[in-house]
Amino acid sequence: MSCCFSKKLFGRRSKREDRYKVSEDAVPKPEEGGEPPKYSWDRREKVNAEDFTIANIHNTTLKKESKDGGPLQMENCTDSTILYLYQTSQVIIDDCRHCTIVLGPAAGSVFVRDCANCTIFTSCQQLRTRDCTSIRISILCPTEPIVENSSDIHFFHLAMRYPELKDQMHAVGLRPFTNRIASVHDFTPAGVNGKGNFRVTPEVVQISDGQEEILRAKGVILKPSPADFIPRFTDTTDPDPTFLYVLGKSEPVDELGDRAIELLHAIYKSGMQVMGTCDLETSTVDSKLVPFAGQAERMILFQLKGNLANLECDVEFDVMSENDLVPLRNLLIHLEGKKNG
Picking from 111, 123, 114, 115, the residue whose alpha carbon sits closest to that of residue 86 is 123
| CB contact at 8 A, 142 and 178 | yes
- 100 contacts 83 by C-beta, under 8 angstroms: no
CA gap 93, 111 in Å, rounded: 6
Q: Which amino acid is at 50?
A: E
Q: Is 206 flagged in the annotation as binding?
A: no
Answer yes or no: is 128 a known binding residue.
Answer: yes
| β 242-248/318-319 pair status | antiparallel
**By the 8 A CB rule, do 298 and 282 touch?**
yes
Segment (H or E) for 3? none
Q: How many CB atoms lie within 10 A of CB 138?
A: 24
123 is in an annotated binding site: no
Distance CA 163, CA 31 (A): 49
Q: Does the annotation flag 44 for ligand binding?
A: no
∠ Cα 225 230 232 (to 5°): 70
73 is in an annotated binding site: no
The answer to whether 34 is annotated as binding is no
List, as own/partner pairs, every contact residues 195-199 make where C-beta atoms lie below 8 angstroms and the sequence separation is at least 24, other chains included.
Answer: 196/340, 196/341, 197/147, 197/150, 197/151, 197/152, 197/153, 197/341, 198/147, 198/150, 198/153, 198/154, 198/155, 198/341, 199/153, 199/154, 199/155, 199/341
Annotated binding site: 108-109, 125-128
Annotated binding site for GTP: 108-109, 125-128
